[in-house]
Structure 1
Amino acid sequence: MDDMSRLDCACPRRLRSAAALGLIAALAVGCTTADADTTGAVRAAGSTSPLPTVPPAQPPRQLTRAEVDNAVSRLDDVVRDAMHRTGVPGVAVGVVYDDKVLYAKGFGLRTAGTKDRVGPDTVFQLASVSKPIASTVVAAAVGEKTVGWDDPVVDHGSGFALKDPWVTRHVTIADLFSHRSGLPDHAGDLLEDLGYDRSYILDHLRYEPLAPFRAHYAYTNFGLTEAAVATARAAGTSWEKLSADKLYRPLGMDSTSSSFADYEKAENKATLHVRTGETWQAEHVRDPDAQSPAGGVSSTVRDMTKWLRLQLGNGTFEGRKVVDADALEQTHVPHMVSEPPHSPVGRTGFYGLGWNVSYDDQGRLKLGHSGGFALGAATNVALLPSEKLGIVVLTNGEPIGVPEAISTTFLDTAQTGGPTVDWLKFLGPLFQQTLQGEHSKVDYSKPPASPAPAKANSAYTGTYANKYYGAMTVSAQDGKLTMQLGPKKQRFVLRHYNGDTFSYSTSGEMAVGLSGVTFTVGSGGRADKVRVENLDTSGLGTFTRND
C-alpha cells in the first residue's frame, strides 16, 4: 500500500494516496509556519513555500550532531503524544545519522487487547515503503549489468503487453518505476481485491486504457511490479529470491522478506488494525504477494536502519559496496512531476524511481515514501541525504497521518530546534479529506423517497462476461439477489436502490463503502448488460450477458 500518491491529490479511491501522502509529508518539512494553518487545515492544495528559482547564494548550513541529538531526545515524547491523541496501537521508529543508528525503539502493542509489546525487532508490513526497497534491489541488478534502467520491459518480459503496441515496445523499467507509463491510477488493484494472482493481473494490464506516454503521472502498484518481476526474470530467479540475494542477506536484514508467508510465520509480528470511532481492532489480514515489489515487504526497524545506512552511504554498507552508487543515484533524482504547483508560489513534487523526491527551502534533496493499507498499516521513511540523516516509522494502524507526523516533526526539530507546526494536526485533515473523497457520489444508503420498483429477479439472474474482470454470476437466494465475482467466487448481496440499480458493500483494500450496480434491460425483459460502478474507474466495469 505501499508506501501514499500526491494527497494522491484528488484521488477518488482509498489509498490511492500512498505516494501522495508521502509527498505531502516530504513537502511539508520544507514549509514555513505561514504555509500551514495551526488549526491543521490546508490553505490550498500544494500552496507550500516555493522551490528556489536560483541556487542559494551559500550552501545549506549542515546540521550538527547536537541538533540531531536534540531531535532524537524528543522522539519518545513525539511518539507517545501521537499514540495518545490517535490511539494507534503500535509504533516502531528508527533513526540513522552519519552511518550510525541513534535510535531504534518500539512502543505500544503488536495486537490491541493483548500484552504483546512492540520492539525494534517486531515485524511490520511495510505496504508501499516496499517501493524504494524494490528500486534498491533493481539498482543492484543494474549495477551488475543484469538489466539497465532504460531497458524496454519487453526485452525481459514473458508476454508483457500494454494496450498500445508502440508503448509496449518502448516502455522501460524506469518508466514503470516512476509511474509514467500511461497506465491508469492503481491499475490492477481491483483485480487483486477480487482474488486474482500476479500472473493474471500483469497479463490483463493490456486492457487498461493509456494516458499519454511519459507525459502523465499515475501511481500503479502493478506497473512497478511488472518492472521488478522482469528484472528478476532477467536474473533467472524469482523476485522474492532476488530481493533476498541482492539486499536482505548482504545487509543482514534477517527479519525482512518479500513473501507474505514469512510475515505470517513470524512470532514477533504486528497485526493490522482499523479504527471504529475511538476503538482500534485487528479485523483483517492483508496478503500482498501479488504486488510484492510494490507493497509486499515486511521488516523491522532494526533491519530498516541497515537499509537506511545503505541509502545514505551511496550503496556502501560497513565498508562493502552492495549496490553500485551510480545505479542507486538514479533512484534519487526526479524522473517525473508527480504534483505540479497549484499556485505561482507552489512547491513542485517529483517522483524518482520508487521514491518521492522533493527539495526544501535551502535546496536540499529530500527523499521519502509512505505506505498504507486501508486494512490496517501505515509507514513512512524520510531521508536528508546531504545530512546523512534518515528516519523510518512503522505502525500497525490504518493511515491517519501518524508515521508522517512523527517523521516530519523529527526532521523539523532537527532543523529548527523544535516543531514549527503541530504536524499531526496539520497532516490529519489531509488524510481525512482523501478518505472522504473516495466514496461514491451517490449515497446508496438513502434510496429516493419513491424509488422505481425493480423487475422480477429473473430479469437480472444469469452469467455475464468481462474480458478484464472475468465472469460474473447473478443469482437469487432466499429472495435476494447476489453477485459472484473473481476466482474465489466472492459473493456480494445486491440491495435494491432505484429501478434497475442496486447497491452492494465493497470489500478489500480498495473498498469504498456502498457502490452501485446498474442493469440494462433489453426488449426481451432480461438484462443484457450490467455496470458495476466500483469496477468502472477506467471504463472496464461493464459485463455482458453470455448465457
Structure 2
Amino acid sequence: MGLGRNFRRWGMRAFIAVMVLSPHAASADTITPERIAAALSKLEALAEGVVADGGVPGLAIGVVHDDKVVFLKGFGHRQAGKPEAVDADTVFQIASLSKPVSATIVAALVSDEIVSWDAKIADLDPAFRLSEPYPTSELTVRDLFSHRSGLPGTAGDDLEDIGYDRAEILRRLRFVSPSSSFRAGYSYSNFGLTEGAVAAAKPTGKPWEEVAEEKLYHPLGMVSTSSRHADFIKHANRAALHVKLDGVWTAKVKRDPDAQAPAGGVSSTARDLSQWVRLVLGNGVYAGETLIKADALDQTHVPLMTRGKNPVSGSESFYGLGWNVEFGRHGLSWGHAGAFSVGARTLVTLFPEEKLGIVIVANAFSTGVPEGLSESFADMAFDGKIEKDWVKAWDDTYAGLFGPAVAAAKAAYAAPPSPASLAGPASAYKGRYFNDFVGDAVVSGEGDGLVLKVGPGGARSYSLEHFDRDMFLTYPDAETPDAPSGVSFVLGPDGKASTMTIEFLDGNHLGTLARVGD
C-alpha cells in the first residue's frame, strides 16, 4: 500500500509523544535563572551541532519562561544547498502542531460564548454526517478535538491526496465505517478535527481562516502566521520541505494542506509561536490582558483519551482537546508534535507549573531532532545535566518506525509469481469505475500501457505497470517513488473488469469501485 497518506500527516500519531516519561518528577524550585541560562547555552550548542552534522537542513527554536521569550534563534538553511539562512522569522509549515493552535482558537470562541465545547455538530453544521445516525446526532466539538468520534485515523487523508477539497472530503466522511464505538476509542483524525474547527466557526458566519486571524493571530501580533497556504508561499523567507534521497537532504515535494488547515495547515515562525506559547502558559492572559477566559482554555488540557505508550519510555500518554497531556519525569507537560512525510517536523512542549515552554520547527522528515533537543533542554532545565543522547534515541525510534514499513511495501511486490500470468487485453480493464467515496476513476490507454485517473476531473494520474494477470502496480507517493501499490481487477463473464480495487485508496476498505456502463 502507498505510504503517503499513512505518514504524511501523522504529526498526530499515537507514537509521537512530546517528552519521554519516567516515574520521578523534579521540584519546580530547581528552575532557577541560572539553570535556565545554562540550559539555553547547551540547547544552542546542541542545535548548532545537529545542523552541522546534517541532522536537519534547518530549524528554529523559541523558549518562553515566566512570560518572557528567553531564547529565539534559527539554525542552518531554509533549503539545502542554498545560502539563505533560517532565522527567527523564517516561516515553516508546522503540520499537526496546527492542532493545539486551532484548539486555542476554538477556546477563544468558547470564551466569547460564540460556541461551546459541547455544542452539537448537528446544530452547528447540519449537513455533516457520520456513517451512523446516533453518533451523528450526538457528536460534539469536544468529541472531534479529542479524536473520539469513531472516525478512523486516516479518514479523508486519501481523498485529499487525490485532489478533493475540504467541503467534499468532509461530505464523504459519511461513507467511512467507524473504527470504534462512539466515544469508546481514540483514533487520531485530521479531518475529524477539521470538521470540529469548521463547525465551531460556523456561528460567526466567517471562514475558519478568517476566524483564526481575528481570534489569535492578529491579537498576538503573529504577523507571519496563517492558515492559508497562499499566504505561506508569499513569504520570501520560508523553509522548504526536505526528505533524504540517497542520504542527502533534498527539497523535492511541495505540500498544500489547505483542505485540513485546522489540523495541519498553519504556517508560522518561531517568533510568532513563542507569543502563542506565552498566551497558553499565561492561562489566556497576554501582555496583561485576558484574551481567553481560563475556564475555556483549561478544557483543552483535560486528559480525555489514552494515546497508548510512548515509543521510547513505554509510559502512558493522554489526549485532551488538540493537546497531548503527559505526566513524566519532569512533571506535567502539555504538547504536540507535527510532521509531513514530505519534509516537516515540529514540536511544542510546555511545563505549565514552571511557566516554561519550548517550540521547535524543522524543515525535514524523518528526524527525531525536535524531540531530542526538547528532551535535552528539559533535562538541563530541571536536572542540570542531560540523561542521554536524546537526539540519537529519537532518530533511532523514527528509523525503526518507518524503515521497515517502506521495506515491507517494496517486498510485497518485489517480484511477480514465476511464471507470471499474462494480462488480458487492454480493453478488459479500460473504462469508468465509481463508488460513493472515491467518486469516478477512469482507466484508459496511453502508449502501450494503461493509466488510472482519479480525483475531481481526473486530477491525479497514475501509470499502471503489469505485475501478474489482473494485478497492476503504480507508484502513488512522490516522496517514496520506489514504493509500489497494487491496482487489481476482477473480470466478469464478458471478459471485462467488473470491479477495480485501488490499494492506496483502500485503507478504510473503500477502494473497490464498480464498472459503470460497458
Instruction: Give the TM-score normalised by the residue count of structure 2.
Output: 0.94
Question: Which of 17, 25, 35 is the matching residue for 1:24?
Answer: 17
Give SS of 1:328's match: helix
Q: Deviations over 1:251-286 (max 9, x none)?
A: 111111111111010111111111112211211111
| Residue 222, structure 1, aligned to residue 191, structure 2 | yes
Question: Which of 59, 81, 95 is the matching residue for 2:49?
Answer: 81
Deviates more, 1:332-341 or 1:303-312: 332-341
Give SS of 2:350's match: strand
Aligned counterparts, 1:31-46, within 5 A:
31=22
Q: 1:289: which partner in 2?
A: 258
The amino acid that maps onto 1:417 is G
The amino acid that maps onto 1:484 is K
The amino acid that maps onto 2:75 is F
Q: 1:45: which partner in 2?
A: none
Q: 1:36: which partner in 2?
A: none
Q: 1:473: which partner in 2?
A: 442
Aligned counterparts, 1:405-484, within 5 A:
405-439=372-406, 443-484=412-453
Asked if the contact 1:19–1:356 (Cα under 8 Å) also holds between the matched residues in 2, the reply is no
| Residue 194, structure 1, aligned to residue 187, structure 2 | no
Aligned length: 511
Q: 2:339: which partner in 1?
A: 372
Asked if the contact 1:309–1:317 (Cα under 8 Å) also holds between the matched residues in 2, the reply is yes
Give SS of 1:545's match: strand
| Residue 13, structure 1, aligned to residue 6, structure 2 | yes
The amino acid that maps onto 1:374 is S
Asked if the contact 2:368–2:392 (Cα under 8 Å) also holds between the matched residues in 1, the reply is no
In structure 2, distance between residues paired with 1:167 and 1:280: 45
In structure 2, distance between residues paired with 1:65 and 1:289: 41
Q: Deviations over 1:209-265 (max 9, x none)?
A: 012111111111100000100111112211011000000111111111111111010
In structure 1, distance between residues paired with 2:478 and 2:148: 26
CA gap of 1:164–1:437, structure 2 versus 1, over 3 A, is: farther
In structure 1, distance between residues paired with 2:233 and 2:422: 48
Q: 1:37: which partner in 2?
A: none
CA gap of 1:509–1:169, structure 2 versus 1, over 3 A, is: farther
In structure 1, distance between residues paired with 2:146 and 2:480: 22
Aligned counterparts, 1:317-328, within 5 A:
317-328=286-297
CA gap of 1:22–1:379, structure 2 versus 1, over 3 A, is: farther
- Aligned Cα root-mean-square deviation (Å): 2.3
Shift of 1:110: 1.0
Q: 1:38: which partner in 2?
A: none
Give SS of 1:425's match: helix
CA gap of 1:281–1:437, structure 2 versus 1, over 3 A, is: same
Deviates more, 1:429-438 or 1:58-67: 58-67
Asked if the contact 1:506–1:512 (Cα under 8 Å) also holds between the matched residues in 2, the reply is no
Shift of 1:128: 0.5
The amino acid that maps onto 2:394 is L
In structure 2, distance between residues paired with 1:168 and 1:60: 44
Q: Deviations over 1:279-329 (max 9, x none)?
A: 112111111111000011111111111001001000000101111111111
Q: 2:116: which partner in 1?
A: 148
In structure 1, distance between residues paired with 2:163 and 2:188: 21
| Residue 301, structure 1, aligned to residue 294, structure 2 | no
Question: Which of 220, 245, 248 is the matching residue for 1:279?
Answer: 248
In structure 1, distance between residues paired with 2:123 and 2:342: 36
The amino acid that maps onto 1:111 is Q
In structure 1, distance between residues paired with 2:429 and 2:265: 39
Q: 1:39: which partner in 2?
A: none
Shift of 1:420: 0.6
Q: 1:44: which partner in 2?
A: none
Shift of 1:81: 2.0
Shift of 1:15: 4.1
The amino acid that maps onto 1:120 is A
Q: Deviations over 1:489-532 (max 9, x none)?
A: 21111111112111100125898921111101111111100111
| Residue 531, structure 1, aligned to residue 498, structure 2 | no
Q: 1:398: which partner in 2?
A: 365
Shift of 1:361: 3.5
Asked if the contact 2:17–2:337 (Cα under 8 Å) also holds between the matched residues in 1, the reply is no
Q: 1:384: which partner in 2?
A: 351
Give SS of 1:472's match: strand
Asked if the contact 1:16–1:185 (Cα under 8 Å) also holds between the matched residues in 2, the reply is no
In structure 2, distance between residues paired with 1:174 and 1:253: 26
In structure 1, distance between residues paired with 2:430 and 2:509: 23
Give SS of 1:543's match: strand
The amino acid that maps onto 2:483 is G
Asked if the contact 1:222–1:291 (Cα under 8 Å) also holds between the matched residues in 2, the reply is yes
In structure 2, distance between residues paired with 1:314 and 1:296: 25
Asked if the contact 1:63–1:414 (Cα under 8 Å) also holds between the matched residues in 2, the reply is yes
In structure 1, distance between residues paired with 2:263 and 2:336: 12
The amino acid that maps onto 1:432 is A
Aligned counterparts, 1:344-355, within 5 A:
346-355=314-323
Deviates more, 1:308-317 or 1:232-241: 232-241
Q: 1:360: which partner in 2?
A: 328
Asked if the contact 2:148–2:182 (Cα under 8 Å) also holds between the matched residues in 1, the reply is yes
Q: 1:169: which partner in 2?
A: 137
Asked if the contact 1:150–1:173 (Cα under 8 Å) also holds between the matched residues in 2, the reply is yes
| Residue 516, structure 1, aligned to residue 486, structure 2 | yes
CA gap of 1:487–1:437, structure 2 versus 1, over 3 A, is: farther
Q: 1:131: which partner in 2?
A: 99
Asked if the contact 2:429–2:489 (Cα under 8 Å) also holds between the matched residues in 1, the reply is yes
Give SS of 1:74's match: helix
CA gap of 1:16–1:197, structure 2 versus 1, over 3 A, is: closer
In structure 2, distance between residues paired with 1:228 and 1:504: 35
Unaligned runs of 5+ in 2: none
In structure 2, distance between residues paired with 1:223 and 1:369: 17
Percent identity over the alignment is 43
Shift of 1:105: 0.3
Asked if the contact 2:466–2:472 (Cα under 8 Å) also holds between the matched residues in 1, the reply is yes
Instruction: Give the TM-score normalised by the residue count of structure 1.
Output: 0.89
Q: 1:336: which partner in 2?
A: 305
CA gap of 1:159–1:511, structure 2 versus 1, over 3 A, is: farther
CA gap of 1:222–1:512, structure 2 versus 1, over 3 A, is: farther
